[in-house]
Each structure stands twice: as structure tokens, then as C-alpha cells.
Structure 1
Amino acid sequence: MRLLLLATPLLLAACQTENTSGAPGTSPDGFTGIAEGETIRFLGTEPFWGGTVKYDRLTYDTPENPEGETFPVKRFTGQGGLGFSGSLDSASFDMTVTPGDCSDGMSDRTYPFTVTLKIGEETRNGCAWTDAQPFDGPLTP
């Protein structure tokens, strides 16, 4: 738990940029680009992983566990995005979601958010979208 508390501020550091441009989705209170009740869908490759997060529940899935593992997370709002922290199989789980065009490298889709995921000591990068802010490209790549 102590490592989780130490890691979360480091992951959110990327989100904590000062908004001097009045960029969409930010306010003096932090990032507002994704409503609290929206479901965020995320994915990554090499290795393949993905899932959803809504409110304080996150489901993380892999090809080895397609049903996924659901666990509680805390949501943090920074100036440039969101952070989610919890524990997956006794390892710290910290994920940031920030605005920016993202490609999964395997389809012709462009996603509106980038994801940085840290499970224990391993860091992964991926993409995310919501129903209100969907990806551009084919439904079935």
C-alpha cells in the first residue's frame, strides 16, 4: 500500500501541468474532459490487455483472462487527465488517461486518449475512448 501511495503522485505528475491555454477539458479544479459516470474503455498491445473503468470499479482483462478481474480503484483528477489506482493480484495498479490522439498500431483506428499503465514494476502504454468520445475508424478492425 505504501508503494501505491508513493507511485500515484509520480504517475499523475504528467497530468499535473498548468493549464495556461484554456485547453478543452480542463478547469481550475482539474480535468473535466471525461464525466465521472462515463465508462472508459482502454486497450494495449504487446502484450494484449484491456478493460473498462466506471466510477470506482475497474475491470482488467487479458487473452489469458478474457472475463477479466474487477477491483476497486480510486479516481484522481489532474490538470491534464485522470488517474486510477488500486491493487491487482497483490500488485499496485496505477493508470493515467490523458487526451491525445492514440493509435493501437494494429488497426486503422484513432483513439482520443492515451493510457499509461503501471502494474507492479511493469509499465505499459495504450489507448482509450468513451461512448461520448469514441474512436475514429472501423468498428471491427
Structure 2
Amino acid sequence: MKSIAFTLPLAFLAACSAGPNEAEGAEKFSGIEYDETVSLSGTEPFWNVKISGNRAVFSSPENLEGTSFAVERFAGLNGVSFSGRMDGASFDAMVTPGDCSDGMSDRTYPYTVTITLGAEQLNGCGHTDRQPFSGPDQP
């Protein structure tokens, strides 16, 4: 029994380090340039985030002026994320390519969005100033 207890953790370690890292040499996501303004939005509840550079503004029907806060950008292999703190709560937005519908308009957005704000998860769509949504300007 002792040898199984000792061997099992070694097997897990070996699995973690086995073979070359496939992500090495892979290019980071470059679909959204640093200087693009990123607009994210969702429904139920309604919310909107606009990100320019290292600043984000989160707004909602309860806070029309919005709350501005600093974010850091991270380009992964299939998207970009923005992380920061808003009013003491952690904020993480993951933006990945893919057609997205807000379910309320006839618009199609080029990005899907998942935001974690504290313990709350928000789902929505996104676009940039260079990669707009398609469909009506005023839904």
C-alpha cells in the first residue's frame, strides 16, 4: 500500500511534465490590437463595458455614468482578457472570437464575452471600433 501512495503522486508529476509544451512557440491572439476600443455588453441584467488602453468603464441602468477602473490586458491563444478591480470586487473579462447574438436585437457581434465580477458571472457579446457588429445601429 505504501508503494501505491508514493507512486501515484509521481505519476501525476510525470504527466504534468511529459513531452514538449505544445503551447511553446504558439502565437498569442492578435485579433484585437492594444489601441482598439473594445465594447462589451449583455442583457439580463443589462450591462456595458468600454475598454480603451488600460481603462475600463462599467455601466448599467443603475449606474448610467459608469464606474472607471484600471485593467491589465492578457492575450492568450484564443482571445484576450482584461483583469482589474472595480469597487473592491475582482473583474475579469474574457473575450473570444465567435459570432454572438445579444438575443434582443438583429445584431451579430464578432466576439463572445464572459465577465466575472466578484462572485457574479455575466455573459454577453463584444465588438471593437475596427471590428463592428453587423445589423441595425438602433435596434
TM-score (norm 2): 0.81
Match of 1:24 in 2: none
Query: In angstroms, what is the RMSD of aligned CA positions?
Result: 1.4
Match of 2:82 in 1: 84
Match of 2:95 in 1: 97
Where 1:79 maps in the other structure, the secondary structure is: coil
Match of 2:60 in 1: 62
- Partners of 1:73 and 1:133 lie apart in 2 by 21
Give 5+ residue unaligned stretches, structure 2.
1-21
- Partners of 2:49 and 2:120 lie apart in 1 by 17
1:33 to 25, 31, 34: 31
Match of 1:14 in 2: none
Where 1:116 maps in the other structure, the secondary structure is: strand
- Partners of 2:49 and 2:127 lie apart in 1 by 11
Q: Which of these two proteins has the greater Rg computed from alpha carbons?
A: 2
- Partners of 1:97 and 1:86 lie apart in 2 by 15
After superposition, where does 1:1-141 map in structure 2 within 5 Å? 28-141=26-139
Point out which structure has higher relative CO (alpha carbons under 8 A, 6+ apart): 1
Give 5+ residue unaligned stretches, structure 1.
1-17, 20-26
- Partners of 1:44 and 1:59 lie apart in 2 by 14
Q: Number of paired residues?
A: 117
- Partners of 2:58 and 2:29 lie apart in 1 by 23
- Partners of 1:136 and 1:128 lie apart in 2 by 11
- Partners of 2:68 and 2:43 lie apart in 1 by 20
Where 2:134 maps in the other structure, the secondary structure is: coil
- Partners of 2:119 and 2:99 lie apart in 1 by 26
- Partners of 1:130 and 1:101 lie apart in 2 by 14
Over the matched positions of the two proteins, sequence identity in percent amounts to 55
